[in-house]
Amino acid sequence: MRLLLVVDVFAPVRTSAAVQMRDLAATLIRLEHECVVVTPDEKLPQLFALQSENSIPVLRIRAGPLKRINLMRRAINEMRLSGRMWAGYRRSPVASRVWDAVVFYSPTIFFGRFVARLKVLHGCPAYLVLRDVFPDWAVDLGLMRKGPHYWLFKAYAQYQYSVADQIGIESPSNRRYFDARDDRVDVLPNWIDAKTDAPRPFRPPALAGKKVLVYAGNIGVAQDMDNVLRLARSLLPRADCRILLVGDGTDRGRVVDEVARQGLENVLLLPEIDPHELRGLLRGCDIGLISLDRRLRSHNIPGKLLSYLEAGLPVLASINRGSDLKAVIDDAGAGAVVWNGDDRALLEAAYRLLDGDEQRSRMANAARTLCRGMFSSDAVAQKLVGRLKETSAGD
């Protein structure tokens, strides 16, 4: 198939969305499909640029900044995103070509109008890869009330859903956000392309001789980083272990301050690093940490989980009740899962993993097996293409 992949951020950016769409594009190309990634770029001086990123064709379109700006300015730029994307796209050489389908990624919730125009222009269906049920999760965490802003964002999200011919949710529990009779909705797990050569394991000198629990990913409100810091404080008496935090996010500055204020000498913070370097770093660690705020009612499979599994790391997860993530890890025997808020259970699980060398070895093998099966980028790409072909055949 000839596919347009629309995402609000792409390589060399290192976020989960950028990495996942890079892996999907690389996999689709390897499976002999034709792809062009279409993405906004705040630094682009001209209207658009057709480039190549590791042999993946990328159409970058000039748009306003969406990250690291105040919320009001970001909201305005997000709401203008579809118009700016269309203005650049229709003048690009990509617009004059024949495309069989559009695959677009959420977040953001503001691609609806752009994708609707792409569908009309190319006479093709669209598949929404839905990874973020916004604004509902923001209400769950108390970041937003159900006032005018909520209903405005909800309208944008609902319109984006209406534009999609197929919707891939990452967890069965997220079906509850849709009508039970909506046959467009199906589970499309997160994915990782593990076929590239594995880098050699390494770790910072400060961690030499220690057992390392690593948290690698977004450091934000939904991740409840205080949960991780409480674990670190409880592990202070253990001189044999360290907690490594790798990443960026809205809560990073506060976490840095808290580590210093609480004297958490067993915590090492590193900035966001290149995905290939991260693969090597994870292979030099012992346990992968996941934390999700207990107030969340939406359920997701964090991208960091896939990175841990690919590296063969047993997973220690403290998550919101009802999350499908517990069954995924428990059924595979790939780690230990407790409910967020039960600090004692989390500490006990950490001790079991730190002290159980044979158990960690078994879980490491289970993690790799789970990665090659459920979260294979090949399997996900084939499922996505299959659904799009069914949709096209039904038109």
d(CA 24, CA 375): 12
Q: What is the pLDDT of residue 394?
A: 66
Q: Is the pTM of this model over 0.85?
A: no
d(CA 362, CA 130): 33
Q: What is the pLDDT of residue 64?
A: 86
CATH of 2-191+376-394, one of 3.40.50.2000, 3.90.1150.10, 3.40.1390.30, 1.20.1090.10: 3.40.50.2000
Q: What is the pLDDT of residue 195?
A: 66
Q: What is the pLDDT of residue 196?
A: 64
- Fold observed for domain 205-373: Rossmann fold (3.40.50)
- Residue-wise pLDDT tens digits, 152-206: 999 999 999 999 999 999 888 888 888 888 999 999 999 988 766 678 898 899 9
Tokens of 210: 């220690």
- Residue-wise pLDDT tens digits, 209-225: 999 999 999 999 999 99
Please give the average pLDDT of every successive group of 10 residues along the chain, which has 395 residues. 96 86 95 97 95 95 83 85 97 97 96 98 97 86 88 95 95 84 91 78 92 95 95 97 94 96 97 87 96 85 89 96 91 96 97 95 95 90 94 74
Q: Do the domains spanning 2-191+376-394 and 205-373 agree at the CATH topology level?
A: yes
User: What residue ranges do the domains of the chain occupy?
Assistant: 2-191+376-394, 205-373
